Amino acid sequence: MKLLTYDSGSGPRCGVLRGDDVVDVAALLGVDRPLEDVRALLETGESAVDQVRTALASNSAAPSVPLASVRLRSPVLQPPTVRDYMIYEEHATGQGTRTREEAWYRMPIFYFSNPLCIAGPDDEIPFPSASDMLDYELEIGCVIGKEGRNVSEADAMDYIAGFLIFNDWSCRDIQRDESTVGLGPAKGKDSASSLGPWLVTTDELAPLMRNGRLQVKCHARVNGDYWLKDGDGGVPYHTWGAVIERASKDSRIVPGDVLGSGTVGGGSIGEAIRKGVEKARFLQPGDVVEHEVEGIGILRNTIGPKIGYDPDYRYKPKEQPALPERGIAKDYKYEFKLP
């Protein structure tokens, strides 16, 4: 199933896709209160997804509206937490241009991103006013369906409600400047994350899951031009089970939590430049960015103007980092190896 959050003019509601129509989930289940988003559905209980599946199969007359007539929102409007990992070796090593620390290979590394700045499909993303080097990051994300602590890798898939596309918008000049301190990415990742277009449940993607990895092709387009074509989403160094295990160790995961894979190999602008993509450059207002993942869909956003720009703002980056050398990784081919 494809679970989504939509707005037909009366505020956000949780829905489920049926062909080209959207069925309201609260009405489908006979719930006496609106369900604001997919998180609200998941919070009703561990069997929530199964209940929707059963009701959808048995109630073909449930009222619906055309998908084309509604505005899609982020499936989870405000996640309790957003953990973003870096589990693709091609991205982690800059397509072989840098060596990764031993710890990266030993465990899935993540940082906490901002759950208060979540965008959905076709939303405009304001260009961060303190940055001049805005990048996209093409990622796969999962959404947690039930609460857990100390979940093992073997049991982890039972905790995932489904998968979506995650675009981790990144201010590379801010990120480079603050990362010299050693605390990790923070303000450079603070302005926006995009999620969508919907949540595809794990059962629907099961045929594409092998050895804990989604075997999917990933594409990135800017203004209709491919900056990544046929990126391999099936070669993360760490599995989705390992991601869940690490997140939940000595901690909690709860319904609606979002975990991002980190950038699929080739799925950032720096990597496109290294690969020699002729038009690749950092983003500008007016650019339309599309991320497509096999089995999930297309997540599209437009870059808006800078809002509140102040040329004298005191916390601007000290300098813009140098661009990667164009075409330096033109012949690079990632070889997936495990120890």
The residue whose two tokens read 């703002």 is 313
What whole-number distance in Å separates Cα of residue 5 and Cα of residue 1? 13
What was the pLDDT predicted at 62?
A: 84
What whole-number distance in Å separates Cα of residue 68 and Cα of residue 70? 6
Blockwise average pLDDT, block size 10, the chain, 339 residues: 97 97 96 95 97 93 93 98 98 96 97 98 98 98 98 98 98 95 91 98 98 98 98 98 98 98 98 98 98 98 96 94 94 94
Sheet holding 124-127, edge to edge: 124-127, 297-306, 288-293, 217-222, 225-232
Spans of all domains in the chain: 2-73, 82-306
Kindly report the CATH number that applies to the domain delimited by 82-306: 3.90.850.10
**Tokens (6 digits) for 261:** 């894979």
pTM (predicted TM-score): 0.97
As a three-state string, the secondary structure of the chain is CEEEEEECCCCEEEEEEECCEEEEHHHHHCCCCCCCCHHHHHCCCCCHHHHHHHHHHHCCCCCEEEHHHCEEECCCCCCCCEEEECCCHHHHCCCCCCCCCHHHHHCCCEEECCCCCEECCCCEEEECCCCCCEECEEEEEEEECCCECCCCHHHHHHHEEEEEEEEECEEHHHHHHHHCCCCCCCHHHCCCEEEEEEEEEHHHHHHHEECCEECCEEEEEECCEEEEEEEECCCCCCCHHHHHHHHHCCCCECCCCEEECCCCCCCEHHHHHHCCCCCCCCCCCCCEEEEEECCCEEEEEEEEEECCCCCCCCCCCCCCCCCCCCCCCCCCCCCCCCC
pLDDT digits (tens, 9 = 90+) for 268-324: 999 999 999 999 999 999 999 999 999 999 999 999 999 999 999 999 999 889 999
What was the pLDDT predicted at 60?
A: 80
What was the pLDDT predicted at 332?
A: 97
Amino acid at 267: G
